[in-house]
Structure 1
Amino acid sequence: MSALTTHNATAEEVYLDRLLAAQLLLPTDLPGIYARGSAFAQIMEGLEHAITRYGRTKETILLRCPPVLPRSIVEKCGYFQSFPQLLGCMCSFTGGTTEHDALMQAVDAGDNLLPHLELADVVMAPAACYYVYPYLAGTLPTEGKTTDIENWCYRHEPSLNPMRMRSFRMREFVHAGTPEQALGFRDRWIERAQEFLTLLGLTATVEAASDPFFGAGERLMAAQQRAQALKFELLIPIVSDERPTAVMSSNYHKDHFGHLFDIHTPDGQTAHTACLAFGMERIVLALLAEHGLQLSQWPRTLQARLEVN
């Protein structure tokens, strides 16, 4: 399957075609949904191990969760208000025989199936860190808590740009503590993230950023996020200097999640949180663009670091 169409292909679409031709990604009938080929999967595994060696300490809490998230959590976090365009909701069939007959008639006719389904109590996780905060409820230790979580995530952004997959993996280190601890964690990890990418032969720039808010207050919320320096992205020009890709991001949430999930510091104050997110597929795509699609031609030191050949 080719990403190229009759229009003038973008640099991102040309890159996607090269990835598909090399079977690094395997196509489906849907844009932004791909299987990972053998070499791509090898790099992903090596990257996971490299992040663990670089970022996890003996105090880090390890958390691995399913790719679906209770809908109540995203409702509580305000995701429907801020990012409804990205959320992947799930529906389930809950009827009996009569309802099933009606469902099958709709399937056979190619009709809308939603009248025959009910909204499920889970959604596809839009970010890994949302699973962390409910488990932090209560009083934190003096030094705060750092959690290492990796999860399959989904965002509804159909595209032929391989850097904007709809289903992808996100690895995060999330810290909860005092304002000073959370900000210190965020600032240290911005520097450490650049150093980590340098070890992979990648050069990233750091820029203030904002999330893709939705609705009438979109511009105001984005401007406030930038003005308060709450979000930074590490950008790499994977296929275009004019359109660099964010491969990692660092966010300071202030006391937002502390209030929502009743997380406190030992002195009774509402905890602040910060997170550092690795876009796993995007880092792999940056590695392939920088070092080539043949792993055997990569620098020996990089092959050893990521355990690939």
Structure 2
Amino acid sequence: MQKVHIALTEAVPPPLHGDVQSKLAFLDNRLSSALLNAAGTAIDAVASQALSSDERDALEAKAQALVTSMCDDAFIPDIRTLSERRGAMRFSDDPMPDLLARREVVQEGEGFFAIGPLLTGVMDYLEVRLTGIAKEQGAAPYRFPALISSSYLEKVQYFKNFPHSLAFVSHLNANVEDIDRFAREAHCCGPIIKVDPAVMAAPKAMLSPTICHHLYHMLEGTRIDETGFVATAFGHCFRYESRNMNALERVWNFTMRELIFVGDEDFVEAGINRAREAFEEVLADLDLSYAIMTANDPFFVGTYRDQAAYQAAFELKYEVRAPLPYSGHSIAIASQNSHRNFFGRTLAIRDHHGDHACTGCFGVGYERLALAFVAQHGIDRDHWPATVRDILSSHVPRGGFSEQEKA
């Protein structure tokens, strides 16, 4: 292990600290950590191997280039709070150690977790409420696969804007010799599969990073009638976040329900606003503290500055952020996104006027909301809000298993 201190030529503006810190996870795969200091003036990193003087110089140059590309002449937005609520927040400890000890949460691999009955009950409650909101909005129900077309993601510029989060799907070559070789030689070294990459086929699909893209793909080349179009779907989403993956706060595989709106601009904006307002009623029943704030997507370094400025200038994205008392930070548990006519132009989707249709979505992350709930209320159901406790009491068992049974 080797510590590396990198003094930055210019300080990172405070509003950009979070975005820069998230990208430092992708700075270099030889680093086990890389932290921007509180002043934004330096990066303190730890390399997993000794670096030569030239390697340290190259690493410092790479870090300077990353920060410059994100911050030089960057648009610094004023973060606007749309609404907020202060709940009881009766709990202040980190719930994860207890959840792990009780095997209510089990980490199966880097960034993916199995969820037990306790949090599943909270997520089931959320699902009932959100499907009710979708029904009130007249949303048509859809089901989408975990896989998504790689050519579609390229067309809508996902390769360009979010390459760091992509997850690729492959398989063995349809060749009996390669399959036999894999069966004889492949083995795992920790989580890594050791295998000759020559036996693997080139990826033809990807794991889906979000829900709404599937609907836009389905609507390519269509025309939306004057009533507009509303859909809803629940599914698994996959976004790789390297060292940022931490407990349930950031995961590689998560679940989400979205309400998706397609039509003219007024229809879309009214729809996503109604969905957000209805969701706030759910949060009130959960007695959750939260704030709804302007935000931007986690664009990659090369496109971050321009794309984030565009989103911020037109307030195209809002996040519902719930505080985690144990950490002093907050996490986004839901987001409201307006894409204007980007997908309409890119995919030739027209509204009833014949113009390129606008799109927007409101999505809720189930694991994050469940984490925020137990972070604020604890894992003792007797201390939960009565509305949730009464609904869950009938189907969330209080029992578990002993260490002997676990073994």
1:254 Cα deviation (Å)? 0.4
The residue that corresponds to 1:18 in the other structure is 98
> For the Cα contact (< 8 Å) 1:207–1:234, is it kept in 2?
yes
What amino acid is the match of 1:203?
S
Q: 262, 265, 285: which one pairs with 1:199?
A: 285
Specify the SS of the correspondent of 1:85.
helix
Q: 296, 299, 306: which one pairs with 2:385?
A: 299
> For the Cα contact (< 8 Å) 2:286–2:387, is it kept in 1?
no
The residue that corresponds to 1:243 in the other structure is 329
Specify the SS of the correspondent of 2:302.
coil
Task: Number of aligned residue pairs: give it.
Answer: 298
> For the Cα contact (< 8 Å) 1:205–1:234, is it kept in 2?
yes
Q: Residues 14-93 of structure 1: matches in 2 within 5 Å?
A: 14-28=94-108, 30-57=109-136, 59-93=138-172
- Deviation string for 1:144-173 (max 9, x for gaps)? 011011110111124233211111101000
1:181 Cα deviation (Å)? 1.0
Q: Residues 1-309 of structure 1: matches in 2 within 5 Å?
A: 14-28=94-108, 30-57=109-136, 59-104=138-183, 107-108=186-187, 111-137=194-220, 138-158=222-242, 159-240=245-326, 242-305=328-391
How much is the aligned-residue C-alpha RMSD, in angstroms? 2.4
Q: Distance in 1 between the 2:183 and 2:323 partners? A: 48
Choose 74-83 or 189-198, whichever is displaced more. 189-198
What amino acid is the match of 1:237?
P
Q: Distance in 1 between the 2:118 and 2:246 partners? A: 21
> For the Cα contact (< 8 Å) 1:65–1:151, is it kept in 2?
yes
> For the Cα contact (< 8 Å) 1:295–1:308, is it kept in 2?
no
> For the Cα contact (< 8 Å) 1:204–1:236, is it kept in 2?
yes
Q: Distance in 1 between the 2:262 and 2:214 partners? A: 13
Choose 210-219 or 173-182, whichever is displaced more. 210-219
> For the Cα contact (< 8 Å) 2:146–2:237, is it kept in 1?
yes
Choose 100-109 or 148-157, whichever is displaced more. 100-109
CA change 1:115–1:215 in 2 (3 A) is: farther
Specify the SS of the correspondent of 1:187.
helix
Q: Distance in 1 between the 2:129 and 2:303 partners? A: 40
* Structure 2 portions without partners, runs of 5+: 1-32, 34-91, 397-407
1:231 Cα deviation (Å)? 0.6
Q: Distance in 2 between the 1:269 and 1:58 partners? A: 24
Structure-1-length-normalised TM-score = 0.88
1:16 Cα deviation (Å)? 2.5
1:39 Cα deviation (Å)? 1.8
* Structure 1 portions without partners, runs of 5+: 1-6
CA change 1:300–1:282 in 2 (3 A) is: same
Specify the SS of the correspondent of 2:262.
strand
Choose 207-216 or 68-77, whichever is displaced more. 68-77
What amino acid is the match of 2:128?
H
Choose 246-255 or 18-27, whichever is displaced more. 18-27
- Deviation string for 1:164-197 (max 9, x for gaps)? 1111101000000101111222333333332321
What amino acid is the match of 1:68?
L
1:101 Cα deviation (Å)? 4.2
Specify the SS of the correspondent of 2:271.
helix
What amino acid is the match of 1:59?
G
1:262 Cα deviation (Å)? 1.9
CA change 1:109–1:297 in 2 (3 A) is: closer
CA change 1:293–1:89 in 2 (3 A) is: same
Structure-2-length-normalised TM-score = 0.68
1:294 Cα deviation (Å)? 2.4
